[in-house]
Chain A
Amino acid sequence: MTATTTHPSGPPVAPEAPKPKKKKVKVRTTGQKPVVTGIWNTLAIGVALVMAFPIYWMILTTFKTNKDLIAQDPTFWPSSFSFDSYKTIFDDADFLPSLQNTLILTLGAVVLGLVVGFLAAVAVARFNFRGRSFFIVTMLVVQMVPLLAIIIPLFVVMNKAGLTGSLLGVILAYLVFTVPYVVWTLRSFIVNIPAELDEAAMVDGCTQWGAFFRVILPLTLPGLITTGVYSWIQAWNEFIVANTLISSGGDGSKTSMIWLTFYSTTPTRGADYGSQMAGGLLVSLPVIILFVFFQKKVSAGLTAGAVKG
């Protein structure tokens, strides 16, 4: 151990490459032998490999040529890379319109959900009024109502209101899961902003709105991002409500998830796993990027409030 501390510049790169004995600068807890740690590490990598394999296989499939795809024995590396699968997807007349629909839906649900939810969260966090705890509990309960269970009456009600087949109906339906989540999560953010802060701003000459935009909003921003990202993912991935409310309308508009789900239902496409996987990957890409980008926020968002997935 003394040897490592005399070389704080880091491990040498080239010479020790072949069989490196574990030399940890880190202080080990009692009873953690390097050999045992090696075994656990191997096990962990095994877990990572098993978990990653479906994703690897999905990506690999998108690049395989038709010849590779129909081969008797699947290959673990394509004999040559082909982008035909992606071309098939972009040639599909429904792909881009459905992506656009999903984008509108998701943006609508997120923006409306944030606005409506933020207002309610401010009310709950900053005011003492009759029915406050009732409202908070309701928010929690509402999140737990299985959307699947009210899908039938939701369809019936939207059908009557003439909102089936329109994106607006779906956006409204999505508010059911975005608003309670936003309220519940933002509430704790706003509660933590002391009222003295905006008082101080106003004493210093801010107007009410000035205090709101300069003090409360910036301090709530991390919460808004967390809830926004989480609502985005929820709305983007949602299938059953969109499918019920839009497809039943009959004008053939779809969201990406609906498009993807029914893409493989014709026999020719059903056998073409290359383009199916390409479609799946393309449709999930916005979510994956968002997830990787806001990794910390997403996990914080999940634990901050009660969420259904």
Chain B
Amino acid sequence: MSVTTNETVNRSEKSGPAPAGKPQRRGFFAAGQYIPYALLLPAIVVLVGVLAYPLFRLFDLAFQNVNRYAYLVNPSLSKYIGFEGFSKILGDHQFWEVVLRSIYFTAELVILSMVLSMLIALLLNRVSNWARVTVITVMMFVWAIPALVNGQVFRWLFSPNGGVVDYLAFLVTGDESWKHYDWFADPNVGLYVVGASVIIWGALPFLVLGLYAALTQVPAELTEAARLDGANAFQVFRHVTIPVIRPFLMISAALSFIWDFQVFAQIFSLRNTSPEPGYWTIGTYLYMNGIVRSRYSESSVISIVMILMMLAVLVFYIRQMLKIGANER
């Protein structure tokens, strides 16, 4: 009986000229061959218009000499220069300095934030309930603060005049010279200490809460069994915990790399909208060159190099995500 009911429903819906659908197409969307494409159309239009065409223009620009606003407004002034733009950027020692700095900085950020968040997540797994709730609540608030505001707050914390970190350092060490210590005078200190602390502070909530959620998935029977078999805490962590949380660990490490490599907002606001060259990582460099100095073609080249450098990690990440997505279905 149910078969006949289904058929009548199908027939009554078939108002258009659409032929009988495949068996998979059932329920509300039983009719119409072109429906999926019609549904996809707005998304495709938006993505092609705002993403695909600009991506094409990115490569187009990279082979031109549009390095002034006037050239952009009046395209007849610009011309194709082949790989000249590439050789100019790749031959520029400041570019390589920036790339190297980005790599160091990203490595520092990813390693520190992953290790710290792993430690805090393990700690959360061990503490009493009230302590855990306190930490998680604080983390939620930190998470909610926009990246730009993070940079602004840390500029104030580390300010040489009235900054609290200077004062705390003085209180702890008792050394008067810590007062009015200028954290930003040496870009290396400013970037690798202050910049890193802003970004890690902002990144910890996502990582800690995610890792903690992953840790709660580790079956207690497994760890206890390992314990009974004589494994010490580290061995349990290494051979039981890590394999279980591995998928999230991989994804969060890849995401951290992706975010940290292109970091911009925090540094930009930390240096009050004009980061000195010593603070330039690839994101900042791109912005300073492209938007501030209107060197559109040169920064297109930088963008392409940046995308290429991220590609390996991106491919890895996408493969992981697809695996997870495949399990879902």
| One of B20-28, B83-91, B100-108, B238-246 at the interface | B20-28
A48, A175, A196: the one contacting B135 at CB < 8 Å is A48
A4 at the interface (CB under 8 A from B): no
Q: How far is the CB of A68 from chain B (nearest CB, A)?
A: 9
A109 to B40, alpha carbons, bound, how many Å? 18
Binding site secondary structure of chain A: helix
A157 to B75, alpha carbons, bound, how many Å? 13
Contact B139 A299 (CB under 8 A): no
Q: How many A-B residue pairs have CB under 8 A?
A: 321
Find chain B residues with CB under 8 A from A140 CB. Answer: 318, 321-322, 325
Contact B328 A172 (CB under 8 A): no
Find chain A residues with CB under 8 A from B96 CB. Answer: none
Among residues 62 to 116 in chain A, which have CB atoms less than 8 Å away from a CB atom of chain B?
69-74, 115-116
Contact A150 B58 (CB under 8 A): yes
Question: Known contacts being A48-B134, A191-B328, A288-B144, is A244 close to B152, with CB within 8 Å?
Answer: no
Find chain B residues with CB under 8 A from A225 CB. Answer: none
Q: How far is the CB of B288 from chain A (nearest CB, A)?
A: 12
B50 at the interface (CB under 8 A from A): yes
Contact B123 A44 (CB under 8 A): yes
A141 to B307, alpha carbons, bound, how many Å? 12
Contact B209 A299 (CB under 8 A): yes
Interface string of A259-290 (1 = CB under 8 A from B): 01110110000110100110011011001101
Find chain B residues with CB under 8 A from A284 CB. Answer: 144-146, 149
A11 to B286, alpha carbons, bound, how many Å? 60
Contact A264 B13 (CB under 8 A): no
Find chain B residues with CB under 8 A from A196 CB. Answer: 26-27
Contact A30 B39 (CB under 8 A): no
Among residues 178 to 217 in chain A, which have CB atoms less than 8 Å away from a CB atom of chain B?
179-180, 183-184, 188, 191, 195-199, 202-203, 208, 211-212, 215-216
Contact B148 A203 (CB under 8 A): no
Contact A127 B25 (CB under 8 A): yes
B184 at the interface (CB under 8 A from A): no
Contact A40 B144 (CB under 8 A): no
Find chain A residues with CB under 8 A from B124 CB. Answer: 44
Query: Which residue on B lies nearest to A159, using beta carbons?
Result: B72
Query: Which residue on A lies nearest to B6, using beta carbons?
Result: A199
Contact A153 B55 (CB under 8 A): yes
Contact A146 B127 (CB under 8 A): no
Interface string of B225-266 (1 = CB under 8 A from A): 001000000000000000000001000000100110010110
A221 at the interface (CB under 8 A from B): no
Contact B227 A30 (CB under 8 A): yes
B162 at the interface (CB under 8 A from A): yes
A149 to B6, alpha carbons, bound, how many Å? 51
A41 to B55, alpha carbons, bound, how many Å? 51
Contact A146 B153 (CB under 8 A): no
A253 at the interface (CB under 8 A from B): no
Contact B140 A291 (CB under 8 A): yes
A124 to B163, alpha carbons, bound, how many Å? 53
A69, A146, A265: the one contacting B262 at CB < 8 Å is A146
Question: Known contacts being A45-B134, A152-B299, A264-B272, is A55 close to B145, with CB within 8 Å?
Answer: yes
A89 to B200, alpha carbons, bound, how many Å? 29
Query: Which residue on A lies nearest to B75, using beta carbons?
Result: A160
Q: How far is the CB of A10 from chain B (nearest CB, A)?
A: 14
Find chain B residues with CB under 8 A from A136 CB. Answer: 325
Query: Which residue on A lies nearest to B24, using beta carbons?
Result: A128
Interface string of A135-159 (1 = CB under 8 A from B): 1111011101110111111111101
A203 to B143, alpha carbons, bound, how many Å? 47
A230 at the interface (CB under 8 A from B): no
Q: How far is the CB of B12 from chain A (nearest CB, A)?
A: 9
Question: Known contacts being A119-B43, A157-B53, is A288 close to B258, with CB within 8 Å?
Answer: no
Among residues 275 to 329 in chain B, which have CB atoms less than 8 Å away from a CB atom of chain A?
283, 286-287, 290-291, 296, 299-300, 303-304, 306-307, 310, 314, 317-318, 321-322, 325, 328-329
Given A30-B227, A54-B142, A148-B303, 12 additional A-B pairs, CB 8 A: A26-B129, A37-B126, A55-B142, A58-B153, A126-B25, A146-B258, A151-B287, A188-B329, A239-B147, A276-B156, A284-B144, A288-B145
Chain A residues proximal to chain B, CB less than 8 Å: 24, 26, 29-32, 37, 40-41, 43-45, 47-48, 51-52, 54-55, 57-58, 61, 69-74, 115-117, 119-120, 122-124, 126-129, 132, 135-138, 140-142, 144-146, 148-157, 159, 172-173, 175-176, 179-180, 183-184, 188, 191, 195-199, 202-203, 208, 211-212, 215-216, 236-237, 239-240, 243-244, 248, 257, 260-262, 264-265, 270-271, 273, 276-277, 280-281, 283-284, 287-288, 290-292, 295, 299, 302-303, 306, 308-309
